[in-house]
Chains A and B, each alone.
Chain A
């Protein structure tokens, strides 16, 4: 009997080893461990055996059963593992292949900069206003204390529109600064006023790495009771802090623009050299960012605002320079060249 058990065990184990498909394990189990298996038969027949033999055979049979069950479990696990490995091979993806794209275009860096600036001023309560790009001499110059033959006209070489009045005047031009919108705002809005005015501006100038005949500016205007130059400084410093970062040093110095008095210019510490002086900043360590000042009482009066009641500040800033500084762009013409190899970088 013991011999028989031994042979049975050897058979069963050998057969189990040759199995490599999970579902064959069940028939093996039925054959060797099932109710009708030889082993079960033996165990059932134990009762009819003499006591000594019963003990010996019983122990041996139980041992064989435990061993076979153990082997089955191991085999099951092994097959499961193999199965998993196999399906992993079939189902895995090459995660390094490029994904199917949802192509997205980029906004132009100037647009992005304008939105950022308008957001910063918007959060300080400024409203965005726009005005015409083809403008009357009056709003571009006269209303801003720049009468005809004023030397300030020389630094803003003007493109004039080919249109003459009956008296031979040429009153239409491409605005040279967005300050023309300020002149219109003063005339059309009543205080309190808090606006920024972005847009395209034009100069009669040849193109080079730092000049284009068209570029972008943003002007700002605040009119209210009790507006001071301290408020101007605070507003501009806050803008600089948010646009250029907390640690960037700022300078506020006296400068001249016909439509403000006192006038000022704000510069930031050179981003390239950190104030040491380099070619970018003309060795001064500073980069001029904007012109500003307290709106000239004559400009307010001309637009119908009483300077004895209200005070006002105004500022104007070139836009193109800002992404140039930020992204280290050395040629302004790239902005208007429509080259995707450039634009897609932003």
Chain B
């Protein structure tokens, strides 16, 4: 909302500097985002009149304009198409500071020789003066603009640009801001006196109004003005509209806009001659009904909208836009003026569905009050009579099915203190409310307040408390720390699990990334080594902004691999990334499951190239090592079993299993999937479902006593078939008594080991918790172990 101070000042005395006023308004809820000073830097610009126009001797598109400044005349070269003899214009002397019409940059005007003709000074466009973006021609001033007067004196102004919150439609007008300013500076606000002669025949003989949908139209008022002349509106009005960001159109439309800006009530002017039967019906559209609106578009209406109709059909979409058929045009002589109130939600719905947001819409949908209708229609009728001539019919039509008596709200000083934490006196409370136009009845320690009609946002006591707080100033609310006991808290264990996992995985050298939760089907399909589509279909957004962000990710991999691929372009020779976040798994007729997942990927060399050497590539055991490290830190007993993840290499992957639950997978990415993500190297990946992991992390570790007796270590080397796994061997070894620990220290094939065989070398630690072991004891167990290994796995002891 743009607020020219010159206009505001008609209602309220602004003694404060504009920056201070802006600050007061901002603190009290009307945020002033900008202060535009018109005429700042107009030092060498004065009002002149074009007294001669001559062709340029060397250029067809340019002309020579002689401009009279009262005491002197200047002839300048001018390229504007709108040069007219007698027009008053803004003349800039050499040295004036202007804005370049094309580049938008500030420059100082210098004498120039244009196509051989010396030009000292120029006639300015609105853009060159910084008034608007218009640069099609020079700015033409009103005929009464005083020649020779500095432009800043005549046109200068300060405009506040305020953000009005949706609860305050009453502030979407000059009068509303004036009320705020008056309350904040404790002034009273004199309202403009509205009086006009009602010289015509009574209105009810010429206009009738029927509200067929009173739920959507609480009030409809109309006035009738005959014998008017549609012309341009006076320049002072045009100037004000322009400063508020509206384009002048003609006097009638300008007046409706002007009153909307002044009072906050949208109005609509019909050409009375085009309203069939002089009858207005406010109703829901009939099935399939259409209307051609002012912008020339044919609109299909639905039955839950609202139209203004005459006997034959719709003449306007209520509160949103008028119809072309009843539009005020140059030949119009009678005006049926509408000021009405409509249901906010219905207007919001219509504006949204038809894609027609407008200034009127914005005010209706925020809930302006029906009482506003009357002062606004009187003011607009007065202006029409005054500026467009004509005769106002006697009386007004006023159909008001939604009239409601305002309810008083009781507020006690205790309630104020209870919520704000500060003891405002009843006097202070009443003073604040009264300054805002509330009708207050004081009791001993309470006030019964009736909100002024324009405050449609006041319903309950807390609404009054906010009014008191913002007028007294939020700075006067104390700053206190919470003094209540801290509530009993049971923290969600997933939170500390997530933090612990993040810290561990980052500790292993993985960089955390956060990727969008939304992705594309194309991206997800890259995870499939064979062509096909992900199943089940992930959750889809009905109104995706782009196709890259259409589906909610069912896993973290796709985005993470895309991130890996992108980073490889920057020649990082060792990349380790992880993400921890939710995935979204659709459920029937319910919100999706949102398990917390953690996925890590590694590619390239283990340490990067370094003078320490050892730039060998990552392999399966790096990924597995990270998982094992994490599981061990979380004290989870999990095993790695054959995996069946289709995005992973079929021979190089494992499922991570605890109890009967699969917690995740680890493995090498399927080469075809790597290719799909344009990753030229092997990728190692692990993915863990933290929500599934969580139950295994609860509870505490139980201390194992440390045996005081010495350990004995024996190394054995086995030769087994290549198909025999390390797990099989250790499971057997661990099953024997006295075996404290089993560590594999060599895996070897080839050389002296026969083909189809491999050698596994173990270091077995024996220990008893009751006595010192003897050699014989250990020899006996070791032999039993070897026998069992031989029997179960066909293992030979390697010499």
Contacts and interface: CB of A to CB of B under 8 A. Distances in A.
A162 B540 contact: yes
A235 B518 contact: no
Interface stretch (B206-214, B424-432, B457-465, B744-752): B457-465
B567 to A, nearest CB: 5
B405 to A, nearest CB: 22
A240 B165 CA distance: 25
B755 interface: no
A74 B357 CA distance: 102
B612 A100 contact: yes
A234 B572 CA distance: 47
B165 A255 contact: yes
A43 B422 CA distance: 109
Given A159-B543, A205-B545, A235 B482 contact: yes
A311 B512 CA distance: 40
Interface string A208-235: 0000111000000010111111110111
B516 A336 contact: yes
Interface in A60-111: 97-98, 100-101, 103-108, 110-111
A321 interface: no
A150 B347 CA distance: 10
A133 B480 contact: no
Interface in B492-507: 492, 494-495, 499, 502-503, 505-507
A284 B591 contact: no
Given A132-B594, A134-B539, A224-B484, A151 B517 contact: no
A7 interface: no
A284 to B, nearest CB: 7
B66 to A, nearest CB: 42
Interface in A223-254: 224-231, 233-235, 237-238, 251-254
Contacts of A297: 460, 462
Interface string A154-169: 1100011111010000
A192 B487 contact: yes
Given A125-B487, A172-B591, A294-B419, A162 B34 contact: no
B737 interface: no
B511 interface: yes
Nearest to B559: A338
A228 B584 CA distance: 39
Contacts of B577: 338, 340
B165 A256 contact: yes
Contacts of A205: 545
B462 A296 contact: yes
Interface residues of A, number: 93
A269 B512 CA distance: 31
Interface in B442-466: 460, 462-463, 465-466
B29 interface: yes
B509 A238 contact: no
A149 B514 contact: no
A204 B566 contact: no
B541 A262 contact: no
A282 interface: yes
A127 interface: yes
A339 B611 contact: no
Contact of A256 (B167, B345, B489): B167
A226 B419 CA distance: 8
B177 to A, nearest CB: 15
Contacts of A336: 514-516
A335 to B, nearest CB: 7
Interface in B302-352: 344-346, 348-349, 352
Contacts of B227: none
Contact of B419 (A104, A192, A229): A229
A170 B542 CA distance: 9
A133 B595 CA distance: 11
B640 interface: no
A343 B477 contact: no
A54 B469 CA distance: 118
A254 B484 contact: no
B511 A105 contact: yes
Nearest to A127: B489
B191 interface: no
Interface in A242-284: 251-256, 258, 261-264, 282-284
A100 B499 CA distance: 27
A338 B513 contact: yes
A124 B470 contact: no
Given A151-B166, A206-B545, A253-B26, A125 B486 contact: yes
A152 interface: yes
Given A125-B487, A227-B484, A338 B542 contact: no
A44 B496 CA distance: 89
Contacts of A231: 421, 480-483
Contacts of B584: 133-134
A304 interface: no
Interface in B115-141: none
A302 B371 CA distance: 31
A115 B346 CA distance: 44
Listed residue (A258, A261, A263) with the most chain B CB atoms within 10 angstroms of its CB = A261
Nearest to A206: B545
A293 to B, nearest CB: 8
A103 B607 contact: yes
A214 B611 CA distance: 42
Given A160-B542, A254-B469, A340-B511, A149 B419 contact: no
B27 interface: yes
Contacts of B517: 133, 174, 200, 202, 214
Contact of B420 (A132, A174, A191, A229): A229
Contacts of B344: 149, 151
A34 interface: no
A135 interface: yes
A335 B581 CA distance: 15
Contacts of A193: 487
Interface string B556-581: 00010011001100101011111001
A49 B655 CA distance: 102
A336 to B, nearest CB: 6
A42 interface: no
A151 B490 CA distance: 38
A43 B575 CA distance: 82
A251 B27 CA distance: 9
B779 to A, nearest CB: 42
B418 interface: yes
B549 interface: yes
Contacts of B485: 192
Contacts of A129: 492
Contact of B482 (A115, A202, A227, A262): A227
Interface in A127-155: 127-130, 132-136, 147-152, 154-155
Nearest to B345: A149
A100 to B, nearest CB: 5
Contacts of B33: 282, 284
Contacts of B27: 251, 253-254
B491 interface: yes
Given A160-B542, A256-B166, A262 B466 contact: yes
13 contacts: A107-B503, A129-B492, A147-B345, A150-B345, A163-B589, A194-B489, A214-B517, A234-B480, A254-B470, A256-B166, A297-B460, A340-B577, A343-B511
4 nearest CB pairs, A to B? A228-B421, A230-B421, A125-B486, A262-B466
Given A105-B578, A192-B485, 9 more contacts: A149-B344, A151-B366, A202-B517, A227-B482, A233-B479, A234-B480, A252-B477, A262-B466, A335-B514
Interface of B: 26-29, 31, 33-34, 165-168, 344-346, 348-349, 352, 362, 365-366, 418-422, 460, 462-463, 465-466, 469-470, 474-475, 477-487, 489-492, 494-495, 499, 502-503, 505-518, 539-545, 549, 552, 559, 562-563, 566-567, 570, 572, 574-578, 581-582, 584, 589, 591-592, 594, 607, 610-612
